[in-house]
With several copies, the nearest count.
Chain A
Amino acid sequence: MKLVYFASVRERIGRPEEELDLPADVATVGDLIGWLKGRGLEYEAALSEPRAIRVALDHVHARPEAKLAGVREVAVFPPMTGG
C-alpha cells in the first residue's frame, strides 16, 4: 500500500511517501496509525497526538474506523491550514 505524508508529518517521518506491506490485522485507519507508531521513533514523534492526525483514503477524508480494504493510497497529515 502506498502511504503519502504531508507538512509536519512528512517532516517528522522524514520522507514524503513510501510503499509498505501491511500486516493482515491492520484493517482500519486507526489500526494503521497504531501500527505505524511502532515502526520507529520518527513515526512515534509524527503520530504522537492522535487528535492532530488526519487520514485520507484515495483522496477522501476518512475516520479512524474506516476500512483499508481495496484502498490504493493512504495519506497522513496534520489538520489543514489553507485558505
Chain B
Amino acid sequence: MAAALRIAVQAGPFDMAREAAAARAGRSDVGAVVTFTGVCRDEGRTLAALELEHYPGMAEAELTRIAEEAAARWSITAATIIHRFGRIAPGEDIVLVVTASPHRAAALEAASFLMDYLKTRAPFWKKEHPHSGEGGWVAAKGSDDEAAEKWK
C-alpha cells in the first residue's frame, strides 16, 4: 500500500485538524484516522518553558526513515510527523503524529510505533527552564528504550 508520508520540523505551531484532514483526503479506503499530539506539561507549575534543540538535516532524515518503516510494517495510507523546535511554553504542542489506514489496529499501532521510535531515535533534546532554580537537560528514560524495543 503506497502511503503518503509528510515530515516537518518547524519552530511554529501546527494545525492538528488540518493535518488529520489532509492525511485522509482523496482516498475512499480510509476507515481509521489516529492523531497523537504531544503537549508541554507545566510539571506542577514549576516549568516556565521547554527548549527543544534539534539536529537540522538529520531530524528530517530520521523522521522520514521512521515513517517509512511504519509504512512498511503496517497497511497505512498516510503517516504524518511534525516536530517543533525552539522555545515551547506549557500547554503548547510539541509533536504531532497522524496515521490513516483502512483498519483501526494498523492506524493505532503505527501511531504508537511512530511515537516510541521518534522518542528514542529522532535527534531532539529537551532542556527545562523552571520558574526558579536551575533547569537542565531532560534525562532519557529507560522506559522509552523499552517501549521502542518492543517493536523489534
Contacts and interface: CB of A to CB of B under 8 A. Distances in A.
B54 A78 contact: no
Given A59-B62, A83-B119, A78 B94 contact: no
A77 to B, nearest CB: 7
Contacts of B94: 82-83
Given A7-B125, A75-B58, A83 B140 contact: no
A80 B125 contact: yes
A82 B57 contact: no
A61 interface: yes
The majority secondary structure among interface residues of chain B is mixed
Most central of B121, B125, B137 by chain A CB within 10 Å: B125
Contact of A80 (B95, B104, B119, B127): B119
Contacts of A36: none
Contacts of A52: 140
Interface residues of A, number: 17
Nearest to B145: A79
A47 to B, nearest CB: 15
Given A80-B125, A83-B38, 15 more contacts: A7-B127, A56-B58, A60-B58, A61-B62, A77-B55, A80-B119, A80-B123, A81-B124, A81-B137, A82-B52, A82-B54, A83-B83, A83-B94, A83-B115, A83-B124
Interface of B: 38, 52-55, 57-58, 61-62, 83, 94-95, 104, 115, 118-127, 137-140
Interface of A: 4, 6-8, 52, 56, 59-61, 75, 77-83
